[in-house]
Chain A
């Protein structure tokens, strides 16, 4: 029924495919992280997203119900380590049907780009997400290069 559309050539579908590819690239389908030595299996608590811009790198930790005061965040060179605990004490009088939520101690380590400045870090906790923002070093930021006119050049 849909055979005549011509999936491979119709402009709408090629555009869709390009978008899919872009999304895969954006969401880590083929980043250096995939298969990294510090990568962890899907579902490891807490989930981590890392975004980078020209002047900063932001790490998002999806840690609902974690007391931010009990989080230990350390950075050495470009390696960031976060450890903490989320203890869930089950009600002994209750009947449990599902216990999918992580309970216990956790530690996650991520390597970040080399040019981050370990002295310029700031962390916030909101709605169960820890946001750690690290500045990149000045020298690593892209700069526009001015072209100056040579004095006495023939015009």
Chain B
């Protein structure tokens, strides 16, 4: 059984972010992804993103996370230093068929996005009794 493929990072389905500096560059949020018997949980660091600036959607088995940093620098402000050089976060993952994409739950708090994707009930692991 290849569980590693249940939530694999998307390739091709969404445009590859340009890794250059400039207005179009994209931030790749750091994520933790883990699986329990109930389903898969994804936690993404997306500081600065509020609920109305978050776009979480599923397109053809792709889970797409997108969000924009909402802090508006003051007028006449010049950057002295910037570790973060873009305002758009984007990352996508391919969901496995055993996951119930229609029952995804998401929560956003303090810049942390938590996404829970349940497994189809009939596909949750069952203990197999061995008859003697």
Contacts and interface: CB of A to CB of B under 8 A. Distances in A.
Contacts of A98: 31-33
Contacts of B69: 129
Interface in A72-95: 88, 90-91, 93-95
Nearest to A68: B110
A14 interface: no
A27 B85 contact: yes
B34 A96 contact: yes
Contacts of B70: 127
Interface string B74-101: 1111111111110000000000000000
Interface size class of B (residues with CB under 8 A): 35 or more
Counting chain A CB atoms within 10 Å of each CB, which of B43, B78, B81 scores highest?
A: B81
Interface string A1-45: 000000000000000000010011011110111000000001010
A137 B55 CA distance: 42
Interface stretch (B44-52, B56-64, B116-124): B44-52
B47 A127 contact: yes
A55 to B, nearest CB: 9
Contacts of B82: 27-28, 49-50
Given A96-B33, A100-B30, A47 B83 contact: yes
Interface of B: 3-4, 7, 21-23, 30-36, 41, 43, 45-50, 69-71, 73-85, 110-112
10 contacts: A26-B79, A33-B81, A42-B83, A51-B73, A51-B79, A93-B36, A96-B34, A98-B33, A125-B110, A128-B48
